[in-house]
Amino acid sequence: MISFLEFFVRYFPDLLSGIGMTLLLTAEGILAGLVLGLAATLARTYGGKFWRSLAIAYIELFRGTPLLVQLFLLYYGLPGLGIALSREWSAFLALGLNSGAYQAEYLRGSILAVGEEQMLAARAIGMSKWQAIFYIILPQALRLAIPAWANEPVSLLKASSVVFLIAVPELMTRAKMIASRTYDPIRSYLAAAVLYLILVYLVDAAMKWLEQHTRLPGLSQARQK
């Protein structure tokens, strides 16, 4: 029997390409989700009745159903409507749409926390509603959202493993392939677990850095006390 370390080193190149895909899917999903989540939150908080209902419907639908169901609907379901997406596109869309619904909730909480009064002060110097949102509300709300929002990249990174079910060649898919090739599921999936753990640690560190470098002087000091 070879040691886990030897096993790990032997199959690392294979796993590494999986890591690349996992990180790519996570990054794309987070960015697409941020854009979608921001749009949904703004529509929900400041939009008219139509946009508000649309945003709520989107958020509830994608938070209320499993990611796997969404993925299968996109990959296996859409071709029935004449829309055939590649595996990668289906994975990217599912992760982005799903994450957007969660990110919308994180952002909404912090927009509410910034409060109506900042809007009032912005309007009082002659800003339009949208100027106030972009120059006054969002810069504060995004900062406020970071500590809670920072869970989302970690959570999406792990959730991205479900796309192995449509055989997108990411970390989990690689691990499964190695497992069936070597008949050694324990070492294969343990290797995947170790790598996920390292990735999560790195993403966490990046989030802490982000949090620290967007802190407002004075405010953070007050909070630390």
Partner 1 sequence: MREFPPILQAKNLTKTYGENVIFKNISLDVYKGETIVIIGPSGTGKSTLLRCLNLLTPVDSGQIFLEGEEITAPSVNQDQVRQKIGMVFQNFLLFNHLTALGNVMVGLTKVKKMPHNQAKEKALQELERVGLADRAHHYPAQLSGGQQQRVAIARALAMDPLVMLFDEPTSALDPELIGEVLGVMEQLAHEHMTMLVVTHEMGFAREVADRIIFMEKGRIVEEGTPEDLFERPQQARTREFLGRISELYGKREKG
How far apart CA 93 and CA 91 sit, in angstroms, is 6
**Binding of residue 112 to partner 1 (CB under 8 A):** no
Amino acid symbol at 33:
G
Question: Which CB atom, from 84 or from 121, has the smaller least distance to partner 1?
Answer: 121
Q: Which residues of 90-103 are buried (b: 16+ CB within 10 A; e: fewer)?
A: bbbbbbbbbbbbbb
- Candidates 127, 146, 154, 210: give the one binding partner 1 (CB under 8 A): 127
How far apart CA 203 and CA 191 sit, in angstroms, is 18
Using alpha carbons, select from 172, 143, 157, 146 the residue that is nearest to residue 202.
157
- Candidates 118, 155, 161, 182: give the one binding partner 1 (CB under 8 A): 118
Question: CB of 88 within 8 A of CB of 22?
Answer: no
Binding mask 55-74 for partner 1 (x = CB under 8 A): --------------------
Question: At closest approach, how far in Å is the CB of 134 from partner 1?
Answer: 9
How far apart CA 130 and CA 69 sit, in angstroms, is 36
- Candidates 1, 5, 81, 125: give the one binding partner 1 (CB under 8 A): 125
Question: Which CB atom, from 136 or from 195, has the smaller least distance to partner 1?
Answer: 136
- Candidates 17, 53, 86, 128: give the one binding partner 1 (CB under 8 A): 128
**Binding of residue 117 to partner 1 (CB under 8 A):** yes
Question: Which CB atom, from 49 or from 223, has the smaller least distance to partner 1?
Answer: 223
- Candidates 124, 183, 224, 225: give the one binding partner 1 (CB under 8 A): 124
**189-196 contacts: CB < 8 A, separation 24 or more?**
190/4, 191/4, 191/7, 191/8, 191/11, 191/15, 192/15, 194/8, 195/15, 195/19, 195/171, 196/157, 196/158, 196/161, 196/171
Contacts of partner 1 in 140-199 (CB under 8 A) = 140, 143
Question: At closest approach, how far in Å is the CB of 142 from partner 1?
Answer: 9
Question: At closest approach, how far in Å is the CB of 127 from partner 1?
Answer: 6
The DSSP annotation for 136-169 comes to IIHHHHHHHHHHHHTHHHHHHHHHGGGGGGGT--
Binding mask 194-223 for partner 1 (x = CB under 8 A): ----------------------xxxx-xx-
Q: Which residues are at the interface with partner 1 (CB under 8 A)?
A: 117-118, 120-128, 131, 135-136, 139-140, 143, 216-219, 221-222
